[in-house]
Structure 1
């Protein structure tokens, strides 16, 4: 990895969250714990210098690597040809910002396995889950605190918007910790693994965007009650109270104690109200 970086005169940047895994045992552990196998088509976001890519190609049918850095994207096929020539034909590289990708070439991917850029890890994960319904499971490495948030359950101190939105798509769990010494350069934060398994979203009469709008509002002022945080969507504090009660939720509760189903019920009740602010809101689809 260091030799490849020297070839490019590469200086990893914080702006792109570039901390490259240089420990072979770590990348093999990630592949092993992801559960991918010979029939899987894997999306890897942020392959960097290719250490995880090489480990994946030993096991899976195909890897589609999405890399925003043009120099790294151009280098990757040559790295695979040099270090895993028998697998080079099973690599696809997409030079793009993962947050702006709207489609991927080749057969529908079945898994996402990646060391995600830490500065955009949650938006990238949610975007990929929304974009690629064929994804059945995945394992991603993120900042330790972010891993805790993604896997958090209602009532936890770190439960929030990432926890609820990830739960829309999948069952999410913490899958281990990663030390700082396996990276170059070593980050100033600890890292964690997050595993997930796709499940069907809740059955509902409203859209994902409508539900996500409610989630965003509920956590925008974390210490306030739902009656207060959702008044902008309902039109007034009193209307907010009625909507929340109609959904079978305590208006004095806070968003941090609600599971996904409660947010869905609130969104459904809001959708039955006279056209107002909520009808025109569009939450983050991803």
Structure 2
């Protein structure tokens, strides 16, 4: 099996009349070693059904099929989606039956019939966080994932409480999964070459927390909307005033003088639960 190299990527793009666009966040990987590194870092099981978002010209798709996994590729660009089965048939005909292609937006397609267990993708930088969180919220079959994102986004997704870059993406991902940094990817392996570094983020889905996700996420959003303020002030609008915010925080065992960046996802869950309990009729 041959993977796509720099010349293959450019020739394929030229044949399809594809010009990478910033609007779709298209930066195609053209280095076989890199895509094999991504697949290794994903720690896939033999029976994993892989969801790949934004397969582009098929570099990572071929590496996933080479590994032996079934792949469901979701591609928003119709010409790329139409060409992917042909590329796979040309480079690895023995694995062509393991590929399913869905043309559409990953934020809108229905994956219920596919039941993917792993997300492995080179995600467009501008939609990386929404895509990951949306899929974790709507695809209960997902067990693990490995995504390539802008290095800055990788740092945010994997940050812990107290970190300068800890914020909404960090806490919301922690609601669903345990995340880890899984390596850097140099800009030189992409065409066109992006002006930022990329990073790999791996995650393992956990059992979750006892609580209302929507209510917990509302607390998280409120706390980080004014991240420099104390929780007593930042959650005032959410709770119905600073005194109400203080009462809820103290009842949840959280110091009202702390800031959102100092709290764990468990803390936010307790705050949301305490407010819900306080609203229940006595």
TM-score range, shorter-chain basis?
Answer: over 0.9
Counterpart for residue 227 of structure 2: 222
8 Å CA contact 1:42–1:60 kept in 2: the answer is no
Query: Are 1:61 and 2:69 counterparts?
Result: yes
How many pairs were matched up?
A: 272
Query: Are 1:141 and 2:148 counterparts?
Result: yes
Change (3 A) 1:113 1:95: same
For the residues of structure 2 that align with 1:154 and 1:47, how far apart are their CA atoms? 33
**TM-score normalised by L of structure 2:** 0.94
* Structure 2, unpaired ranges of 5+: 1-8
Counterpart for residue 213 of structure 2: 208
* Structure 1, unpaired ranges of 5+: 276-286
Counterpart for residue 254 of structure 2: 249
Query: Are 1:165 and 2:172 counterparts?
Result: yes
The Cα of 1:229 is off from its aligned counterpart by 1.1
Pairing 1:224-239 to 2, within 5 Å after superposition:
224-239=229-244
177, 193, 198: which one pairs with 2:200? 193
SS in 1 for 2:132: helix
Counterpart for residue 3 of structure 2: none
Counterpart for residue 130 of structure 2: 123
SS in 2 for 1:273: helix
The Cα of 1:38 is off from its aligned counterpart by 2.5
265, 270, 273: which one pairs with 2:275? 270
SS in 2 for 1:253: coil
SS in 1 for 2:71: strand
The Cα of 1:150 is off from its aligned counterpart by 0.4
For the residues of structure 1 that align with 2:138 and 2:239, how far apart are their CA atoms? 30
Q: Provide, for residues 70-103 of structure 1, a one-character-per-residue CA deviation record: whole Å limited to 9, x for no partner.
A: 1100010000011111111110001111111232
The Cα of 1:132 is off from its aligned counterpart by 1.4
69, 83, 105: which one pairs with 1:97? 105
For the residues of structure 2 that align with 1:152 and 1:84, how far apart are their CA atoms? 39
SS in 1 for 2:94: helix
Counterpart for residue 82 of structure 2: 74
SS in 2 for 1:58: helix
For the residues of structure 1 that align with 2:81 and 2:61, how far apart are their CA atoms? 12
For the residues of structure 1 that align with 2:95 and 2:101, how far apart are their CA atoms? 14
8 Å CA contact 1:40–1:60 kept in 2: the answer is no
Q: Provide, for residues 92-118 of structure 1, a one-character-per-residue CA deviation record: whole Å limited to 9, x for no partner.
A: 001111111232433x21111100111
For the residues of structure 2 that align with 1:38 and 1:274, how far apart are their CA atoms? 48
For the residues of structure 2 that align with 1:134 and 1:9, how far apart are their CA atoms? 36
For the residues of structure 2 that align with 1:274 and 1:170, how far apart are their CA atoms? 29
Counterpart for residue 181 of structure 2: 174
**TM-score normalised by L of structure 1:** 0.93
